[in-house]
Amino acid sequence: MTDRPVILLAAHGERGGAANNARLAGIVERVGQALPEADVGSVLVNVEGVVERAVEAVEACGGRRLIVLPLLFSDGFFFEKRLKPFLAGPHRTLAPPMAMWRGFAPLLADNLALRTISHAADPRVVLLAHGSKQTGRSAVCARIVAQQMQARYGRIEVAFLEEAPFAQDVVAAVEAPWSAVGLFLGDGMHGGTDFDVLVSTAPRQPVAAFTAGELPGLPALVVAEARARLAA
């Protein structure tokens, strides 16, 4: 038995593209190195039952403190149905989805500014997100991120893969100069293939294009959130 806390980074999991969850594994490794006082792991929410079994395994170790940090971009289906029901009760903490963390939008804005610093005019920004026809929370949360970025940066337009305004239409119509920022963690179907195709086939090439998952400062953001939860 140990009183070391357990920190689980919850992510959707990749489909298509690289499909090896390498980015998630890299974040887990770096967070674990920065937090030697905790046991850091990951859990995929796109596989039903995995979260429940992970929580049961932690409980079987003597009721250790469990903190789950969702590396998600909305509080929609996967947050509400695959995480929340299993993380109520003593010794369990469920943080908000990463897109709602205080430092997330500034991280995107800072990286965008660094990549466009050489341009005389601020480019238009297209914030690309998954979207959903079910709960609508993906769109709501993406627009919240856009508003937070706009307060620091400038013109932000939100577009989606699976609902209007559709990313393909927005990217085709956007005027130069422009930048693309993707709310995707992994290098799978959406964060890799879909994002890359949208950018590479755009009539006017962006001056900057990146996804949240590829930012080198992302593990530090996760570490900061974990430390805040550990101190609470």
pLDDT digits (tens, 9 = 90+) for 167-223: 999 999 999 999 999 999 987 666 668 999 999 999 999 999 999 999 999 999 999
Place of tokens 């509400």: 80
- Architecture in CATH for domain 104-214: 3-Layer(aba) Sandwich (3.40)
Radius of gyration of the chain (CA): 18
Q: Which of 18-22, 143-147, 224-228 has the lowest mean pLDDT?
A: 18-22
Q: Which of 41-55, 68-82, 120-134 has the lowest mean pLDDT?
A: 120-134
Helix axes 218-231, 22-34, angle to 10 degrees: 50
Listed in sequence order, the residues at least 6 apart from 73 whose beta carbon sits closer than 8 Å to its beta carbon are 97, 98, 99, 129, 130, 138, 141, 142, 145, 183, 184, 185, 212
Residue 180 to residue 207: CA distance in whole angstroms: 8
Residue 120: which pLDDT band, with cuts at 50, 70 and 90? low
- Residue intervals of the chain classified under CATH 3.40.50.1400 are 6-98+216-231, 104-214
Q: Can you give the pLDDT at residue 19?
A: 56
Whether 1 has a pLDDT exceeding 80, the answer reads no
Report residue 108 as tokens.
């995107």
Helix axes 104-115, 218-231, angle to 10 degrees: 160
Q: Could you give the 3-state DSSP secondary structure of residue 168?
A: helix
Residue 68 to residue 107: CA distance in whole angstroms: 21
Just give the CATH number of 6-98+216-231. 3.40.50.1400
Q: Could you give the 3-state DSSP secondary structure of residue 155?
A: coil
Q: Tell me the torsion sign for CA atoms 106, 110, 115, 120.
A: positive
Residue 181 to residue 130: CA distance in whole angstroms: 12
